[in-house]
Amino acid sequence: MAEPGGGPYRTSRSLRLIVLLTMAAGFLDAYTFLGRGGVFATAQTGNVVLLGVQAAQAQWAEALRHVPPIVAFVVGVWTAETIRLPRMAAVLRRPVRAALALEILVLVGVGLLPSGSSDELVAVMIAFVASVQITSFGLIGRWPFNTTVTTTNLRNASQAVYGAVVRRDADAAAQAGRLWPAIASFAAGALLGGLATARLGDRAVWVATALLLTGLALFLADDRRHGAG
């Protein structure tokens, strides 16, 4: 089976999986913003900015609070890269699935934390999850996509629409048809996260875990159908 946009079908690059991962990221941003201290834990731009601003104001204690999520993000990148090393891939056999399973395990850990646990600890754990996801899943078909940050996705999708309409570029039209639904899924995830956090509080994280579990199940279902990777 061929991937839309060219190349063999791969579950890890399929629109179905990327929609689920992006929805989970939007959900987690809403969850941490509304229920875990008013932070967006999946991206580190805010932490880097606040670290610099508060350091400039000599608010050292406040500035240092932003260091652990940044460190966790870096460690997540290193972890995902290690999983993809040939030696590790030979042991794990399915490194992309292993990365997704690791994300799920960390979110299970968040869900099992006692009610009222440190928001800072949760932010660190979710920053790690987001980092592993960004590093492990970066394509829809053959087009770049970031499952946790929408700015670059919006630029690429807007350029694709322009190319499709103005230049009559069929490849750009195909790209736009993949990127826009995935971008919309981030907003849908944030909406779901807002509703779930208001009703479930700390335990709302289980919904994001379920989204990732559904993504992992897609690999198994596709294996039965056509041996996708």
64-110 pLDDT, tens per residue? Answer: 988 999 999 999 999 999 999 999 988 998 999 999 999 999 999 99
Q: Identify any residues that bridge with 143 across adjacent strands, giving them in sequence order.
A: 140
Token pair of 89, please? 């891939």
pLDDT of the residue at 229: 55
Tokens 């970066």, residue located = 138
Nearest-angstrom CA–CA distance, 95 and 212: 16
pLDDT of the residue at 224: 84
Nearest-angstrom CA–CA distance, 25 and 92: 25
pLDDT of the residue at 71: 95
Question: Which residues does the chain have with pLDDT short of 70?
Answer: 1-8, 227-229
pLDDT of the residue at 106: 98
Nearest-angstrom CA–CA distance, 33 and 41: 8
